[in-house]
Amino acid sequence: MNKGPLYRLLVRWVVCSVGLWIAAEVLGSGITYESRLGVIIIAGLVLAIINAILRPVIIILSLPAILFSLGLFMIVINGFTVYLASKLYHPLHVTNFWAAMLAGIIIGLVNYLVTAILEKREV
């Protein structure tokens, strides 16, 4: 069954929000969100939009670095998207790029788990 773009954006939004919340709880002071659920939800939307529009362009432009590092440069790209989301939406505060990279790893793991569950459910 083919899901439409709105469905994919909503799933990406939920995954990014949950991943940001988990990352903020795990990293402590590395990511702060004023302890408000609304900040996490809006920051998840900002991150989902960045991932939908800007991330593919960044991946294409950095393809040589991704291939040379055997895919490890994707961690840097994930961290950059989290850091950019914190700059575009100020209530979400990421202290430094290392915290953003760790948050990117956590969000990537959450995304992997949700994708695996959804694909298993559709079969």
Q: Show contacts of 25-32: CB within 8 Å, 24+ apart.
A: 26/102, 26/106, 27/99, 27/102, 27/103, 27/106, 29/95, 30/94, 30/95, 30/96, 30/98, 30/99, 30/102, 30/103, 31/86, 31/92, 31/93, 31/94, 31/95, 31/99, 31/103, 32/92, 32/93
What pLDDT, on the 0 to 100 scale, is given for residue 33?
Answer: 86
Instruction: Report the distance separating Cα 100 and Cα 107, nearest Å.
Output: 10
pLDDT tens-digit profile, the chain (123 residues): 567 888 888 988 999 999 999 999 998 888 888 888 899 999 999 999 999 999 999 999 999 999 999 999 999 999 999 999 999 999 999 999 999 999 999 999 998 898 888 777 766
What pLDDT, on the 0 to 100 scale, is given for residue 28?
Answer: 85
Q: Does pTM surpass 0.85? A: yes
What pLDDT, on the 0 to 100 scale, is given for residue 122?
Answer: 66
SS3 label, residue 4: coil
What pLDDT, on the 0 to 100 scale, is given for residue 82?
Answer: 94
CB 80, CB 53: distance < 8 Å: no
Residues in the chain: 123
